[in-house]
Amino acid sequence: MEASPIITLTDLEDLAAERLDPHWREYFAGGAGSERTLRENVAAFSRYRLRQRVLCGIESVSTATTVLGQELAFPLLVAPTAYMRRAHEDGEEGMARAAATVGAGMCLSTFATTSAAAITAVAPNLPRFLQVYVYRDRGVTREIIDMAIDAGFSGLFLTVDLPVVGSRDRERRIAWEFPEDDLPMVVFAKERGLDAHGTVPVDPALDWNYLEQLCESVTVPIVVKGVLEVEDAVLAAEHGAAGVVVSNHGGRQLDAVSPTIEALGAIAEAVGDRVEVLFDGGIRRGTDIALALALGARAVLAGRAPLWGLAAGGEAGARTVLELLRDELATALHLMGCASVGDVGPQNVTRIGAA
């Protein structure tokens, strides 16, 4: 880490931009199309206001919660982000150690640069989950799932918003190509006769029947990741999901869809009493987490923010970002008059222009 103090995520993001390979910087930072949704994921937070309360008699606050029965010291999972070793040599293992130290959880990408077993080895007490892309060959998908469950992973996050890869202008401009040399799960798939991500072996015709079959065939809970509409959240609950992630894939799939913070409230109201509602998209400050909690999220996922920390300073940089988010959340809770994350709700937030 640099000698100058790291006060905000922006300090680390600027440093990460300097240290990343230019092509990989564009890959990690980019979104789909003209990147309207990518920008709106962040900008939409400014349309909400937290309510500050006073004289609440709170000595200290707790940021602890649970996700799918797993205890977290604060309500954040590191989002599944591919190719972390291309951001820094510490890779997913460094990120896992950072998350475990701070008390966050982690969701490992199918396109990780390390294996599920390796994550368990370096961070055995980390609440850990596997993000699942479903290959056309369902048998290969099942082998990957079984490896994660055997390694002690506590749940699966089934990504459903990538039947095809979105139109990503930045990737086309830099002629970005999928790397194959350091991706254990991709190598595993290739050994079984599948092409790599360059030709996207993900099943484009995935449907609700698969979700139901998966829920019935594994011993861990399933979360549906990539839900933006109430109708789909209801269907996820009806087909056996234990949770949903309100997500637009970080603005990387269909441009011009809703920013996730604007989709969250209606989904939480519709299914929050049936499944755990999680959230991702645009998390940059602890106050962003507080807003998501107030609108109905049980916890949030953050992808780019911890990744910038990793790129800037390896495991220590990732830990710094997670600590910043945790501490800012704790401060926000105290000023909102909430002794715990469980106290946060609709009474703590207003929207600009709302009646």
Tens digit of pLDDT for each residue in 67-81? 999 999 999 999 999
Alpha-carbon span 64 to 95, nearest angstrom: 20
- 230-273 pLDDT, tens digit per residue, is 999 999 999 999 999 999 999 998 999 999 999 999 999 999 99
Residue 274 has pLDDT above 80, yes or no: yes
Any idea what the Cα angle at residue 248 is, between residues 244 and 252, rounded to 5°? 140
Residue 353 parent element (H or E): none
- 160-195 pLDDT, tens digit per residue, is 999 888 778 777 777 766 666 655 665 565 566 555
Interval 335-339 mean pLDDT: 98
Residue 95's closest CA among 255, 351, 318? 318
Q: What are phi and psi of 106, to 5 degrees?
A: -150, 140
Percent of the chain with pLDDT strictly greater than 70? 90
Q: State the alpha helices, DSSP H only, in the chain.
A: 9-19, 22-29, 36-43, 84-87, 91-102, 116-122, 138-150, 169-173, 184-190, 208-217, 230-238, 260-271, 286-294, 304-336
Tokens of 189: 């798939």
Alpha-carbon span 89 to 320, nearest angstrom: 17
Give the domains, in start order, of the chain with CATH numbers: 36-341 (3.20.20.70)
Q: For the chain, how far is it from start to end, CA to CA, in angstroms? A: 47
- 151-160 pLDDT, tens digit per residue, is 999 999 999 9
Sign of torsion over alpha carbons 13, 26, 41, 75 = negative
In the residue annotation, 249 being an active-site residue is answered as yes
Sign of torsion over alpha carbons 265, 266, 270, 274 = negative
Query: Is 95:101 a contact under the CB 8 Å cutoff?
Result: no
> How many angstroms separate the Cα of 175 from the Cα of each of 38, 117, 171, 178, 198?
21, 33, 6, 10, 12
Q: What is the 3-state secondary structure (H, E, C) of 74-102?
A: CCEEECCCCCHHHHCCCHHHHHHHHHHHH
Residue of 88, 197, 239, 249 marked active site: 249
Interval 326-343 mean pLDDT: 98
- What is the reported pLDDT for 182? 56
Residue 311's closest CA among 35, 95, 7? 95
- 300-330 pLDDT, tens digit per residue, is 999 999 999 999 999 999 999 999 999 999 9
Residue 137 has pLDDT above 90, yes or no: no
Alpha-carbon span 204 to 306, nearest angstrom: 30
Tokens of 217: 């065939």
